[in-house]
């Protein structure tokens, strides 16, 4: 079956075409349908900010590396015992690309993100079909289209980020990075009762997008004095919750200075493997008592992401759609940053009446 894959390791931004990472459509075998498995005919698979990291060999260098973990589709077949969540052939679904096994020690200790068998069902979703364990699959609400449904996974990341902030109603919140995760985290934090809600982002289009969806303030960290602006917005106190969704080494250090005393700072992106954050323990952990944390994957977040899905404003994230045969072009457009999100149509599926 057709699958979008990394076919040559390298940076997708490399100006030299002979060494640039390459994306192509390859033919990979369809996995067997196990008794507890669900086969999904994939409708849409969105490109994630982490996909270019895969092209650079972050999780391995043996090509082809199949891509795609933000998907929606229609159930095509069910294993004999895939009955526990009530799924039926024809159901419109989305889900979690990781299966948490439930049997290993971390799973039993409430830390599914560290499941020791997490990769077992991590299969490429930018493909004609995708075979998952039934525990990974969630039926979409009737009023959510397949196109919007492929955003369930990034929404689950925003939910998990919110969990890690331990935000309280009324907390002052800043988010750094206006890509899809930053924008979704903004909408989720707004619904959490965030105040002084601020997006820190150098690209004007992304700042404007945040202002359309609930940000009260924006800071351009290049043109403005970020710390001074943050002090102005928060009456000199700083933000109670600071979220990084940029993954940028240039951006992450300054976030410690916009955080209030006692704040939580969530580094919620992927970072360059060898980057080290300079951290003055006396200033930031002793005197300011900051809590620094991060997000690897999103356990326990999907049911709540599904509840939020119909209520979030997602139209701006679903404007750019490319057919699977044009995947290479889709990735070029993703890298260009022309659209906040790029989606690949893996099959042309009639979506009934959902909008
Ligand atoms: Zn993703
Ligand atoms: Zn496990």
Cβ < 5 A residues, ion ligand 1: 48
Please give the distance, rounded to the nearest whole angstrom, from the Cα atom of residue 29 to the centre of ligand 1.
23
For residue 245, the 8-state DSSP code is -
Least Cα distance to 73 among 113, 24, 122, 129 occurs for 129
Examine the pLDDT at 98 and tell me if it is beyond 90: yes
Please give the distance, rounded to the nearest whole angstrom, from the Cα atom of residue 170 to the centre of ligand 2.
36
Q: Which ligand is nearest to the CA of 45?
A: 1
Instruction: Give the chain's domains with CATH numbers.
Output: 2-151+314-345 (3.90.180.10), 159-294 (3.40.50.720)
Cβ–Cβ < 8 Å for 153, 44? no
Predicted confidence band at 256 (pLDDT cuts at 50, 70, 90)? Answer: very high
Please give the distance, rounded to the nearest whole angstrom, from the Cα atom of residue 331 to the centre of ligand 1.
14
Q: Which ligand is nearest to the CA of 104?
A: 2
Least Cα distance to 345 among 331, 325, 315 occurs for 325
Predicted confidence band at 353 (pLDDT cuts at 50, 70, 90)? Answer: low
Residue 238 confidence (pLDDT): 98
Residue 53 confidence (pLDDT): 87
Collapse the DSSP code of 173 into the 3-class scheme (helix H, G, I; strand E, B; otherwise coil) and give the result: strand
Cβ–Cβ < 8 Å for 72, 146? yes
Task: Output the pTM of the full model.
Answer: 0.96
Cβ–Cβ < 8 Å for 259, 239? yes
Taking the C-alpha atoms of residue 263 and residue 261, their distance in angstroms, rounded to an integer, is: 5
Predicted confidence band at 340 (pLDDT cuts at 50, 70, 90)? Answer: very high
Residue 88 confidence (pLDDT): 97
Residue that is written with structure tokens 């599914």 in the block = 112
Please give the distance, rounded to the nearest whole angstrom, from the Cα atom of residue 113 to the centre of ligand 2.
8
**Tens-digit pLDDT profile for residues 197-211:** 999 999 999 999 999
Please give the distance, rounded to the nearest whole angstrom, from the Cα atom of residue 67 to the centre of ligand 2.
23
Predicted confidence band at 351 (pLDDT cuts at 50, 70, 90)? Answer: confident
For residue 22, the 8-state DSSP code is E
Taking the C-alpha atoms of residue 257 and residue 231, their distance in angstroms, rounded to an integer, is: 10
Q: Which ligand is nearest to the CA of 247?
A: 1
Please give the distance, rounded to the nearest whole angstrom, from the Cα atom of residue 161 to the centre of ligand 2.
21
Give, for 106, the enclosing helix (H) or strand (E).
helix 105-108
Taking the C-alpha atoms of residue 56 and residue 255, their distance in angstroms, rounded to an integer, is: 27
**Tens-digit pLDDT profile for residues 117-176:** 999 999 999 999 999 999 999 999 999 999 999 999 999 999 999 999 999 999 999 999
Please give the distance, rounded to the nearest whole angstrom, from the Cα atom of residue 81 to the centre of ligand 2.
20
Please give the distance, rounded to the nearest whole angstrom, from the Cα atom of residue 30 to the centre of ligand 2.
24
Residue 61 confidence (pLDDT): 86
Please give the distance, rounded to the nearest whole angstrom, from the Cα atom of residue 284 to the centre of ligand 1.
30
Examine the pLDDT at 354 and tell me if it is beyond 70: no
Residue 57 confidence (pLDDT): 86
**Tens-digit pLDDT profile for residues 259-287:** 999 999 999 999 988 999 999 999 999 99
Q: Which ligand is nearest to the CA of 114?
A: 2
Taking the C-alpha atoms of residue 121 and residue 106, their distance in angstroms, rounded to an integer, is: 17
Cβ–Cβ < 8 Å for 214, 191? no
**What average pLDDT is seen over the chain?**
96
The angle formed by the CA atoms of residues 161, 163 and 167, to the nearest 5 degrees, is 100
């Amino acid at each position: 079956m057709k699958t979008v894959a990394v076919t040559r390791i390298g940076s997708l931004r490399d100006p030299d075409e002979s060494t640039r990472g390459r994306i192509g459509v390859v033919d990979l075998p369809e996995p067997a349908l196990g008794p507890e498995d669900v086969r999904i005919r994939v409708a849409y698979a969105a490109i994630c900010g982490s996909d270019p990291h895969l092209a650079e060999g972050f999780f391995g260098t043996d090509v082809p590396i199949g891509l795609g973990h933000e998907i929606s589709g229609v159930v095509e077949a069910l294993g004999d015992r895939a009955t526990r969540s009530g799924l039926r052939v024809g159901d419109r679904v989305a889900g979690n690309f990781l299966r948490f096994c439930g049997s290993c020690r971390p799973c039993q200790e409430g830390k599914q993100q560290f499941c020791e068998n997490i990769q077992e069902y991590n299969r490429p979703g930018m493909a004609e079909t995708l075979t998952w364990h039934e525990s990974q699959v969630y039926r979409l609400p009737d009023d959510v289209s397949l196109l919007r449904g492929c955003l369930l996974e990034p929404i689950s990341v925003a939910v998990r980020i919110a969990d890690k902030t331990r935000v309280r109603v009324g907390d002052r919140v800043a988010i750094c990075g206006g890509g899809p995760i930053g924008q979704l985290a903004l909408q989720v934090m707004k619904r959490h009762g965030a105040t002084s809600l601020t997006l820190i982002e150098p690209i004007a289009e992304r700042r404007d997008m945040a202002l359309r969806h609930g940000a009260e303030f924006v800071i351009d960290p290049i043109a403005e004095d970020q710390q001074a602006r943050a002090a102005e917005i928060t009456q000199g106190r700083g933000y109670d919750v600071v979220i990084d969704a940029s993954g940028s080494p240039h951006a992450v250090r300054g976030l410690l200075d916009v955080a209030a005393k006692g704040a939580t700072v969530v580094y919620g992106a992927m970072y360059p493997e060898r980057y080290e954050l300079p951290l003055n323990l006396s200033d930031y952990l002793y005197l300011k008592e900051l809590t620094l944390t991060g997000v690897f994957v999103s356990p326990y977040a999907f049911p709540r992401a599904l509840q939020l899905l119909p209520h979030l404003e997602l139209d701006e994230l679903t404007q750019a759609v490319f057919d699977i045969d044009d995947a290479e072009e889709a990735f070029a457009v993703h890298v260009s940053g022309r659209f906040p999100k790029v989606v690949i149509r893996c099959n042309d599926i009639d979506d009934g009446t959902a909008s």
